[in-house]
Structure 1
Amino acid sequence: MDRAEAQRSTYEAVQRLRDAPFVAERPAYFSPAAAAQDRSNDQGSFAHFAQTLLPLEYTNWAEECAAHVTACYIGDWSSLHKVLVRGREARDFLAWLGMRDLSRFELGQIKHHVQLDANGWVASEGVLCRLGEEEFLYTAGSGDWLIWQLGQGSWDAQAVDVSPDRFIFGVQGPAALDTLEKLTGESLRDIAFSRSRMSRVAGIPVRVLRTGISGELGYELHGFAAYANEIWSATVECGGPFGIRQLGLRSQPVQHIEAGIATNGLDYLPASILTPGAPTQFRRGRPGGSYVPDNGISDYFRKPGELGWGFRKAVPDRDFLGREALAADAAGGGPGRTLVGLRWNAEDVAGILTAHLGEGELPDAMEVPRGRGPAFDQVLVDGRQSGVSTGRTLSVNLRATISLCVIDEAHATPGRDVVVLWGRSDTPQREVRATVTPLPFKPDRRRTDVSLL
């Protein structure tokens, strides 16, 4: 059995036995680049990203968290679900399933694809890339909603799960372009933001996508899993003179908060979890934090407008799943909440971090740079709940503790003082002062004009 076959065989076993005892019946599943990564994983520490075990740190989290600002990193997003959608009606189906207008969708172009349920809640979201006239690749935390919805209709299209067959590596930061041009041996300055094309690394075909999950100049490399080790190693070697760092799982989500990007399964829960199209990749654990929902699990769901993904003008007339619900929301004045940033008071945060060195009752521990699962905290204005904070992160780039916050429009003004209630309801809770901040937290450099570099 070759590497590609072994990867798929293990992936299928994990999916089939996802509720079985770990190792005893359900095998451990690693990145297709695990062999190359192991050379630098001196601590030998791993954690799960969906079903995949990835190294937690290569050097240290602070150095890795800064890499996309000071130089660049290579990070492994191969854990993402990867679904090929093909067929005569593939684009029509995807246009109905997502909010984005796909009538102008060029070959190689990339679009953020936000998929709703009939109530207008976000059910799934990810990146859609057009590979051919009738072929599209959807990469996301989960593609299960897409696959299930396609099976509910009579579309002339097919969806194929190619998750174990392909790798996705992110290379983000000001040195990303120099690194990848050295890696491929050609100029990549023709690739505009949200565009992609094929290239080669030592004869191995790879697709280079210009993306911006870090808020900096950035790219992704997509290719066949059988060559993942070679591509990872070559990228690290080529990026060495430019200061590249390998990004561990501990640091991976930090940049999303700095860039003001809400993450599925961390900053909100997808509405698809209540349906047969429930995501298989996020099945364990419960949200932490001080927030206590009034209406059950749906209080963790979000409308697209609450996450900054709404329409600039009125809801368009074209047909897509959830449109009627969004139109009704708009007629009633919109969702009423919006996404902002919060900058937490350093003195209050320090009091929590050092509580274990003093006396008295201990609050919930505050992991750094951030917790590894979803956590939702109450945000108070004048003692009343007015929002929900998520993604609390210690940012070494900003030298501050920050988070995202879905808050009532009336309190979304930059500079507004609020209070975050820290800690679960059954623990000694602490009040943390915070200030409303515009997003993103740092300048958006995703669309850097590379012709000037």
Structure 2
Amino acid sequence: MSRRTSVDIAEAQRSTYEAVLRLKDAPFIAERPAYFSPAAAAQDESNTQGAFAPFAQILLPLEYTNWIEESAAHVTSCYLGDWSSLHKVVVRGREALDFLAWLGIRDLSRFAHGQIKHHVQLDQSGWVASEGILCRLDEEEFLYTAGSGDWLIWQLSQGSWDAEIQDVSPDRFIFGIQGPAALDTLEKLTGEDLRDIAFSRSRMSRIAGVPVRVLRTGISGELGYELHGPAGHASEIWSATVESGGRFGIRQLGLRSQPVQHIEAGIATNGLDYLPASILTPGAPRQFRRGTPGGSFVPENGITDYFRKPGELGWGFRKGVPDRDFQGRDALAADAAEGEPRRTLVGLRWHSEDVAGILTAHLGEGELPDPMEVPRGRGPAFDQVLVGGQRVGVSTGRTVSVNLRATISLCVIDDDHATPGSEVVVLWGRPGTAQREVRATVSALPFKPDRRRTDVSAL
């Protein structure tokens, strides 16, 4: 690809991105342009069905082969998936680190160059407002990638920090390569040994002369990496990755299967397994502007019943709330003094016979329940979890896992019922529909062995 062509692609990406944001309330296509991945040209070659769906602002292919093959690839070989839809913001300046340390609950006092940290951001009431991945690029420069960086951007604007933010979302691609063959694929792609990159670390490399950052991450619960690079070269690097991984069985991952791995790995996803508290503020994430959650859950206390405290999602502290200052700390300390949270995140394995009854209901007689999409539905869905007819939790992220040969979900549940092996009932279907009760068993998380920290020196 010529330099001129790559520049044209990069300029088109930013121009379209800015138009989508500026015209967010305009009619689709007629006034608001369609926005595709910077790798759309390469992806189109394998997207034989020509079907797309939105992930944030970007339209991505739904499937390349089929969802069964694609959602198993991170266990059997590896996949190449497109996370370019994530919001990407660079924070830089003399007080950038201080600002980020105040905004998130993680201790950033020991934060090496190239290191990656999960950055959970709270509102003043201690609810999770945003969360994503923070990477230290330089002494005073950090990259935050998340479903939305709007809360972070707004929070910086409310203070007097000596720091600035740059939205680089359309300028960079993010590709995920996850699975046991991920390292072999990337070493063939880059032509260099990458075994020095430890888990939650990153460094620069090159692909065909193009500078890219290689990050070792674990969203699949398996050995995995991300590639971050310039949007103008996204298609050529996508194609080169597919070619390099061909001998190792690589599969391209469509949007239909993308969220399955998160549930297998026990990772709650912003906007799907909980709603961020930022939706009530000017820092509301732009991708959550339409629709309402599905499922049988009926909130008793309003919108906050869809919010979560970090401890309910497994993101709390091991030894009490630390003394250092961060937003939401006082609220968490008050919760701890009252014995909160009293709920914890577990997994649920749904009874296969009950699930099959819903999937095949349209072949029999009687009232039809809400349909059950496979491998999982689009958008957030919250279902009531019952014991003896009483509400004890909320199930989210219901998905079919071909790796586990089971239907599974995450569940925030009362501590009294969180013991693995406990039997519960999930109420399937929106209120007013022909609801079905589905038996389920509490499971520890993750659902399958955690291989994110695989010792690559021994491979």
- Fold agreement, TM-score > 0.5: yes
Tell me the distance in 1 between the aligned counterparts of 2:404 and 2:21: 39
Tell me the distance in 1 between the aligned counterparts of 2:89 and 2:372: 36
Tell me the distance in 1 between the aligned counterparts of 2:290 and 2:374: 21
Residues 171-218 of structure 1, C-alpha deviation per residue, up to 9 Å, x if partnerless? Answer: 000000000000000000000000000000010000000000000000
Equivalent residue in structure 2 for 1:347, among 333, 347, 353: 353
Q: Secondary structure at the residue paired with 2:42?
A: helix
Tell me the distance in 1 between the aligned counterparts of 2:305 and 2:101: 27
Partner of 2:72: 66
Partner of 1:11: 17
Measured on the aligned residues, the alpha-carbon RMSD in Å equals 0.5
Partner of 1:109: 115
Equivalent residue in structure 1 for 2:169, among 157, 163, 170: 163
Asked if residue 173 in structure 1 is aligned to residue 200 in structure 2, the reply is no
Q: Counterparts of 1:24-423 in structure 2 under 5 Å?
A: 24-423=30-429
Tell me the distance in 2 between the aligned counterparts of 1:282 and 1:275: 12
> Runs of at least 4 residues of structure 1 off by over 4 A?
none
The letter for the 2-side match of 1:32 is P
The letter for the 2-side match of 1:394 is V
Q: Secondary structure at the residue paired with 1:131?
A: strand
Tell me the distance in 2 between the aligned counterparts of 1:188 and 1:18: 41
Q: Secondary structure at the residue paired with 2:211?
A: strand
Q: Secondary structure at the residue paired with 1:281?
A: helix
Q: Secondary structure at the residue paired with 2:399?
A: strand
Residues 215-267 of structure 1, C-alpha deviation per residue, up to 9 Å, x if partnerless? Answer: 00000000010000011000000000000000000000000000000000000
The letter for the 1-side match of 2:431 is S
After TM superposition, give the deviation of residue 370 of structure 1 in Å: 0.1
After TM superposition, give the deviation of residue 281 of structure 1 in Å: 2.0
After TM superposition, give the deviation of residue 20 of structure 1 in Å: 1.0
Tell me the distance in 2 between the aligned counterparts of 1:349 and 1:397: 17
Tell me the distance in 2 between the aligned counterparts of 1:440 and 1:64: 20
Tell me the distance in 2 between the aligned counterparts of 1:269 and 1:253: 16
The letter for the 2-side match of 1:69 is V
Q: Secondary structure at the residue paired with 1:2?
A: helix
Q: Which runs of 5+ in 2 are unaligned?
A: 1-6
Tell me the distance in 1 between the aligned counterparts of 2:95 and 2:287: 27
Tell me the distance in 2 between the aligned counterparts of 1:3 and 1:452: 40
Tell me the distance in 1 between the aligned counterparts of 2:290 and 2:219: 25
Identity %: 85
Residues 275-303 of structure 1, C-alpha deviation per residue, up to 9 Å, x if partnerless? Answer: 01111122121100000001111110000
Partner of 2:4: none
Q: Which runs of 5+ in 1 are unaligned?
A: none
Tell me the distance in 2 between the aligned counterparts of 1:340 and 1:11: 38
Tell me the distance in 2 between the aligned counterparts of 1:157 and 1:124: 20
Tell me the distance in 2 between the aligned counterparts of 1:175 and 1:411: 38
After TM superposition, give the deviation of residue 77 of structure 1 in Å: 0.2
Tell me the distance in 2 between the aligned counterparts of 1:339 and 1:371: 21
Give the total of aligned pairs: 453
The letter for the 2-side match of 1:326 is L
Residues 387-419 of structure 1, C-alpha deviation per residue, up to 9 Å, x if partnerless? Answer: 000000000000000000000001000000000
Partner of 2:3: none
Partner of 1:427: 433
After TM superposition, give the deviation of residue 334 of structure 1 in Å: 1.8
Q: Secondary structure at the residue paired with 1:115?
A: strand
After TM superposition, give the deviation of residue 444 of structure 1 in Å: 0.1
